[in-house]
Amino acid sequence: MSRLAVDFGARFADFVAWDDAGLRILKRPVSGDMAADLVAGLEALELEAERLQELRLVTTAPLNALLARRPMPVALLSTRGFGDTLRLGRQNRAALYDPVARSPAPVFLVAPEDSHEIGGRLDATGAELAPLDPADIAAAIAGLRAREVRAVAICLLFAHVNPAQELALAEAIRAALPEVSLSLSHQVDPAPREYERTVSVLSDAWLAARMDAPLAAVRAALAARGFAGELLFGDGRGVLVSDAAARAHRAILLSGAPAAAARAGADLSADGVVIAADIGSLSADMSTGRGGQPGMSETGLLAGVPLREACTDIESIALGGTRRVGTGPRGLNFDVDEGPRLDDALAALGRLPDAGVWSAPFSPEAVVAAAADRMAYALTRYATRRNIDPGRASLAVMGGTGALLAADIAAAMGLERVLLPRAPGASGAIGLMQAARRSEAFARVDLGLEALSAEALDALLDRLEGACDGSGPLVYALSLAARRQMHAMPLILGARPASGAEIGEAFAAGFRAEFGIAPPGPGYLFSIAVYRDTRGPVPPMAELGDGAATGLIATEAGAIWCPEGWRLSRTDTAYRLERSAR
């Protein structure tokens, strides 16, 4: 039985298949039809779907569609008086010193004419102050029908405290428009602050409109070929979750692909700290790894869309092989519509095939140097913002374009060495192969720690643990704050807590360790998740060939550019590119 990991990118899909006999990698151009591309990949690898034990998927398609600000037939239903919540955002602006004030709110997620207000109100305790207004519901349904909306996001005030009105509204919509996908804020992001929850639930609806059909086609194609294994998705934390989890929480589809590559980078950090760049065709994603684990964040920002969920701490810049380069007021830049691509410069320098005639008013060497400089600056800024000294950390670079620029980036950062994961041209799929399968269960608690009885905690943990299968140790991920109204912080426990007091002590210790002071409150528990991670074996890495010591050096997937004066070597799990001794 084989396992297969597939990373659908903007231009190529990377397939990594492995079993006891070893590992095979295939890179194919994508057609835009994910199911057809998957089937073609299976055939090219001579894999029978019915003999696949697992299929692991990530795709950058929704992320790229978001980057392109592509509109989707999505509607938003919100509490009367709060239909402008998305447009008003948090009132802050994106760039402090730009004289033109621009909101960072992702207003493109829904057209103003598809936003409907619904009468009805809960108070802060969840008590109903006014029932849902049937006339508003009828008007909204008429609007949804007229605009042929495919997905509806519902975000009502205080639904995270009491979901009854959201559920009732959903029921009314479902009865009238059974084919429409529904996303409910209390299910997608059950936490306070209506703007953030609106963005979360709208993202889910946007993803439903964009991705439900192609993923249904993938499932149908697999079923038609007798696939009886497990379909897993890479999620934003760099782990694998079930198909059911991905259906329930579609944000996974947004952050899964960059997180999979970050997972590959983090695997190089077993002995310390790594800062990593995955440079693909459109964008470069930065991440960190420490002790083999990717750096995490409680919130994410993907394609300008803020995500309020634990995810790999990734920041992206617009730099990739297909980005066009032109001159700006401060030298070469990569956000122009006309001009040669970075790939053209790499080809002109012999790092990619198919070089055409280079006719730009600047040299390809200057383009590559500018790309390396831009990446080096961004990595330095990214690392220092996370209190990581780039001079003390290891640098890891991957991605098809990254492997051709790794030495240049290291040189621009003043480093003598850079690591590349195995098959750096397929790092997302490799990350998927190396990722653990996570089985987890989640419950909202919403209680002060002093009010949490040991018996209630015991019963809750019994239930959550019972829902986790797999073989790894149980981990307890709590979300809590010093006081109810403060921002939630994560607390990860490797052992089952016995009481609210024990949780409070662990929280206080963690708080002191991070901030140097005692928490300004007794502790308030928002939620508990329990999970197990299970990792399978992966095949060993291939030896380097006996080819040239410098220039383009082939790996299992993708070539590494080793310039004169540098040397490429191999460890058990990675490549090391370093300056030759002088």
Partner 1 sequence: MSDALTILQLRLDGLAEAMQQTLLRVAVSPVVREGADASCALFTARGELLALAEAIPLLLGALPGAVGAILGEYPADQMRPGDVFVTNDPFSGGTHLPDIAVVQPVFAGAALIALSASLLHHQDIGGTRAGSVPPDATEIYHEGLRIPPMRVGDSAGFTREFTNLIRAASRAPDVVLGDLETQLAAGRSAAHGVRRIAQDLGTAAFLRALEALLDRAEDETVARLSALPAGPFHGMDALDPVTDLGPCEAHVAIAIRDGRLVADFHGSSPQVQAPVNCVRSGPLSAVFYGLLTLVGDTALRNGGILRRITLQLPEASVVNAALPAAVNARMNMVRCITSAVLQALSQADAERMPAANSGMSYVIAFSGKDATGAPFLSTEIVAGGAGGGPHADGAPGISTDVGNAMNISAESLEALVPMRLRAAEIRAGSGGPGRFRGGDGIRRTYEALSDGIAASIRGERFARVAQGAHGGGSPKGSAATVIRADGARQELTARSAVVLNRGDVLVIESSGGAGYGTPE
Question: For residue 439, which phi and psi values (nearest 5 degrees)?
Answer: -110, 125
CB of 480 to partner 1, least distance (A): 13
Among 517, 546, 547, 581, binds partner 1 (CB under 8 A): 517
- Of 1-9, 96-104, 429-437, 495-503, the window that binds partner 1 (rule: CB under 8 A) is 96-104
103 binds partner 1 (CB under 8 A): yes
Query: Would you say 51 or 87 has its CB closer to partner 1?
Result: 87
436, 457, 514 from 260: Cα distances, Å: 11, 34, 28
CB of 471 to partner 1, least distance (A): 36
Residue reference for tokens 């428009």: 177
Structure tokens at 107: 């207003």
Among 29, 50, 70, 88, binds partner 1 (CB under 8 A): 88
Query: Would you say 6 or 311 has its CB closer to partner 1?
Result: 311
Question: For residue 545, which phi and psi values (nearest 5 degrees)?
Answer: -70, 175
Q: Please state, in angstroms and rounded to a whole number, the distance separating the CA atoms of residues 383 and 391.
A: 10
Q: Please state, in angstroms and rounded to a whole number, the distance separating the CA atoms of residues 69 and 318.
A: 15
Q: Please state, in angstroms and rounded to a whole number, the distance separating the CA atoms of residues 260 and 234.
A: 6
Query: Would you say 212 or 446 has its CB closer to partner 1?
Result: 446
Q: Please state, in angstroms and rounded to a whole number, the distance separating the CA atoms of residues 348 and 356.
A: 7
Question: For residue 160, which phi and psi values (nearest 5 degrees)?
Answer: -70, -20
484 binds partner 1 (CB under 8 A): yes
**Residue in 338, 346, 354, 339 with CA at minimum distance from that of residue 372:** 346
CB of 100 to partner 1, least distance (A): 5
Among 381, 496, 535, 579, binds partner 1 (CB under 8 A): 381
**Residue in 432, 537, 535 with CA at minimum distance from that of residue 5:** 432
Among 126, 214, 510, 521, binds partner 1 (CB under 8 A): 521
Q: Please state, in angstroms and rounded to a whole number, the distance separating the CA atoms of residues 242 and 220.
A: 17
Task: Please give the DSSP secondary-structure letter assigned to residue 188.
Answer: H
Taking residues 321 to 360 in sequence order and writing x for each that binds partner 1 by CB under 8 A, - otherwise, the string is: ---------x------------------------------
CB of 265 to partner 1, least distance (A): 20
CB of 352 to partner 1, least distance (A): 24
Span 400-419, contacts to partner 1 by CB under 8 A: 412-414
513 binds partner 1 (CB under 8 A): no
83 binds partner 1 (CB under 8 A): yes
Q: Please state, in angstroms and rounded to a whole number, the distance separating the CA atoms of residues 222 and 217.
A: 9
Among 93, 145, 174, 463, binds partner 1 (CB under 8 A): 93
Q: Are 87 and 107 in contact (CB under 8 A)?
A: yes
Query: Would you say 14 or 194 has its CB closer to partner 1?
Result: 194
Q: Please state, in angstroms and rounded to a whole number, the distance separating the CA atoms of residues 403 and 473.
A: 36
582 binds partner 1 (CB under 8 A): no
Query: Would you say 93 or 463 has its CB closer to partner 1?
Result: 93
Query: Would you say 59 or 333 has its CB closer to partner 1?
Result: 333
Q: Please state, in angstroms and rounded to a whole number, the distance separating the CA atoms of residues 312 and 308.
A: 12
Query: Would you say 22 or 520 has its CB closer to partner 1?
Result: 520
Query: Would you say 347 or 407 has its CB closer to partner 1?
Result: 407
Among 31, 53, 363, 384, binds partner 1 (CB under 8 A): 384
Among 22, 29, 81, 134, binds partner 1 (CB under 8 A): 81
**Residue in 439, 503, 444, 446 with CA at minimum distance from that of residue 465:** 439
Query: Would you say 330 or 582 has its CB closer to partner 1?
Result: 330
Enumerate the β-bridge partners of residue 448.
Answer: 524
Hey, what amino acid is at 387?
Answer: N
R_g (Cα) of the chain, nearest Å: 25
**Residue in 469, 57, 21 with CA at minimum distance from that of residue 222:** 57
- Of 5-13, 315-323, 393-401, 479-487, the window that binds partner 1 (rule: CB under 8 A) is 479-487
Structure tokens at 326: 């032109």
Our measurement of the distance from residue 569's CA atom to the centroid of its chain's CA atoms, rounded to an integer in Å, reads: 31
119 binds partner 1 (CB under 8 A): no
Structure tokens at 138: 């009828």
Query: Would you say 341 or 381 has its CB closer to partner 1?
Result: 381
373 binds partner 1 (CB under 8 A): yes
Residue reference for tokens 């290891």: 394
Taking residues 8 to 47 in sequence order and writing x for each that binds partner 1 by CB under 8 A, - otherwise, the string is: ----------------------------------------
- CB-count exposure of residue 494 (10 Å: 0-12, 13-18, 19+): exposed
318 binds partner 1 (CB under 8 A): no
H or E stretch covering 307: strand 305-307
Q: Please state, in angstroms and rounded to a whole number, the distance separating the CA atoms of residues 39 and 93.
A: 45
Task: Please give the DSSP secondary-structure letter assigned to residue 519.
Answer: -
Among 178, 485, 545, 581, binds partner 1 (CB under 8 A): 485
Taking residues 121 to 150 in sequence order and writing x for each that binds partner 1 by CB under 8 A, - otherwise, the string is: --xx----x---------------------
Among 46, 146, 337, 487, binds partner 1 (CB under 8 A): 487
Taking residues 185 to 224 in sequence order and writing x for each that binds partner 1 by CB under 8 A, - otherwise, the string is: -------xxxx-----------------------------
524 binds partner 1 (CB under 8 A): no
450 binds partner 1 (CB under 8 A): no
The size of the interface with partner 1 (CB under 8 A), counted in residues, is 61
Neighbours of 271 (CB within 10 A): 9
509 binds partner 1 (CB under 8 A): no
CB of 290 to partner 1, least distance (A): 17
Strands 115-118 and 74-79: parallel
CB of 127 to partner 1, least distance (A): 12
**Residue in 521, 534, 332, 582 with CA at minimum distance from that of residue 437:** 534
Our measurement of the distance from residue 340's CA atom to the centroid of its chain's CA atoms, rounded to an integer in Å, reads: 30
Where does this chain bind partner 1 (CB under 8 A)? 80-85, 87-93, 95-103, 123-124, 129, 157-158, 192-195, 330, 373-374, 376-377, 380-381, 383-387, 389-391, 412-414, 482-487, 489, 515-517, 520-521
